[in-house]
Amino acid sequence: MKSSRFRVAALAAALLAVTQVHPALAAPGDPGEPRYSAGASSLDDPYFPDQGNGGYDVQDYDVTFAYDPATKIMNATTVITALATQDMDQFNLDFQGPEITSLKVGKHPADFTRSGQELVVTPRPKVKSGQTFTVTVSYEGTPPVITDPDGSIEGWVPTDDGVFVPGEPQGAPSWMPVNDSPADKATFTFRATVPEGITVVGNGRLLSQTTEDAKTTFVWRSAEPMATYLATVTLGNFVVTESTTPSGIPVYTAVDPRLVTQSATAVARIPDILEYFSTIFGPYPFNQAGAIIDRAPNVGYALESQTKPIFSSAPSVSTMAHELAHQWYGDSVTLSKWSDIWLNEGFATYATWLWTEHSGGATAQATFNSSSNYGRAATSSFWQILLADPGPEDMFSNIPYNRGAMTLHALRGKIGDTAFFKLIKDWAADHQYGNATTADFIKAAEKISGQNLTSFFDVWLFQKGKPTTW
């Protein structure tokens, strides 16, 4: 799903297409032949060149699956509804999952080939620009664990009582065919059937939970657009608690029974954190909030899965605050390319500094000054990674987090509190459910502050080394 401007362009192209002369009647050598071509197999993100595909824009994913933790076998059918943005005789999806047993475009079985994460589909009939079409993919087997450039794991990660399902930056294709680009957001429905006693927690709202013949089916719906890397269907033994914040946001928490005591403090602060962030960032962007606290020791990190951040162990209050802040910065406003990861991690880290100060801990200024931040010696290797382009191995290192947060704190000092807090609130509002870039942020900061910030951002983002003046 892209901006409405994009959709208007696609419609205009479709209208043009119908007024064109039918190819069979076209004069020999008529330009524009052949009309149909293959959608691009990549969106050329240098960090993950296999990610994303061109030629269409996904509107909705409907993922139905049965899974048994005992056999680790998934039996799934995913229906993708997409809008074609060009006339296509071939297109790609990103998929690393198990064996495909059937694939249809619309009602018609389609030929396909697989290589790495590219699933290449040949639709017959071909797909016209402006057409909304469906792709129905059925598959069966065990989804793989994906290893990232930094060595961490994601995708479909079995735990001792279920599966932990993180997807950043490239885990979603492990278990569903997707257009795996952060820039192609869509709505999602998950319909998951598991042995009775297991809980499946997906993004968005729980529409229904029904048990029949010792199996329970959970239907989760993410009604707001979501990037594929933020999808989860984490499942296992969970203690579920449902509540509502003072301002009316429903909160669904699922906690591994072994972690209930250790997680209690962080879980109890969810409403306070959401209320505080709503005052400084603007209204909470989704119709559901919550958290999934699981035991996945081999994962070892938390992730801001939309509406349901997932934690691989009992979180601290500040980790909880970090993942909740991402709901505004990362999930609702999402980067467009991975080199801009500081827009996600720097914002969430700075939000945690603000929360810490708000809740009676160190001031943001003190955190900025500390030895994990600006207090690091200028000779430290910490300063030798470029914030604007840390590279895939270091995209989740402390550079995007700490130098990113320092950049925001320094910007606040430079433009003043009024402009700074207006900037971050407007950033969340102006790009809600969309995508944005570092260039967009610089432009917004200059506009709101009325200052030329070229040298400020140059020193903090585009140059290595410890900034000394800005």
Joined tokens for residue 35: 């009309």
Q: Answer yes or no whether residue 408 interacts with ligand ARG by CB under 6 A.
A: no
Work out which of 87, 345, 389, 440 binds ligand ARG, going by CB under 6 A: 345
Tokens 């958290």 identify what position?
Answer: 291
Given Zn ion, ligand ARG, none, residue 224, with its beta carbon under 5 to 8 Å by kind, binds none
The residues facing 120 across adjacent strands are 92, 113
Residues 308-337 touching ligand ARG, rule: CB under 6 A, are 322-323
Neighbours of 391 (CB within 10 A): 17
Applying CB under 6 A, which part among 110-118, 208-216, 220-228, 300-308 lies near ligand ARG?
A: 300-308
| Out of 348, 406, 423, 424, the residue judged to bind Zn ion by CB under 5 A | 348
> What is the SS3 assignment for 138?
strand
Using rule CB under 6 A, residue 150 touches ligand ARG:
yes
What 3-state DSSP class applies to 459? helix
Is 294 among the residues that bind ligand ARG (CB under 6 A)? Answer: no
Given a contact cutoff of 8 angstroms between Cβ atoms, the answer to whether 167 and 230 are in contact is yes
Instruction: Name the token pair of 465.
Output: 């080394």
- Which of 323/340 has CB closer to ligand ARG? 323
Closest CA to 238 of 176, 290, 191: 290
Q: Answer yes or no: are the C-beta atoms of 346 and 400 closer than 8 Å.
A: yes
Shortest distance, CB of residue 174 to ligand ARG, whole angstroms? 13
Q: Rounded to whole angstroms, how far apart are CA atoms 291 and 87? A: 42
**CB 293 to ligand ARG: min, Å:** 14
Contact by Cβ (8 Å): 362, 356:
yes
Query: Sign of the C-alpha dihedral, residues 51, 54, 60, 65?
Result: negative
**Residue type at 133 in one-letter notation:** F
By a kind-dependent CB cut-off of 5 to 8 A, residue 150 interacts, out of Zn ion, ligand ARG, none, with ligand ARG
| 340 part of the interface to ligand ARG, by CB under 6 A | no
- Number of residues binding to ligand ARG, judged by CB under 6 A: 13
List for the chain the helix, strand, coil content (%; round to 5).
30, 30, 40
Binding-site partner at residue 256 among Zn ion, ligand ARG, none, CB < 5 to 8 Å by type: none
Q: Which is nearer to ligand ARG, 62 or 394 (CB)?
A: 394
Nearest to ligand ARG of 83, 395 (CB atom): 395
- Rounded to a whole number of angstroms, the minimum distance from the CB of residue 404 to ligand ARG is 11
Binding site for ligand ARG (CB under 6 A): 148, 150, 152, 154, 168, 301-304, 322-323, 345, 396
Binding site for Zn ion (CB under 5 A): 345, 348
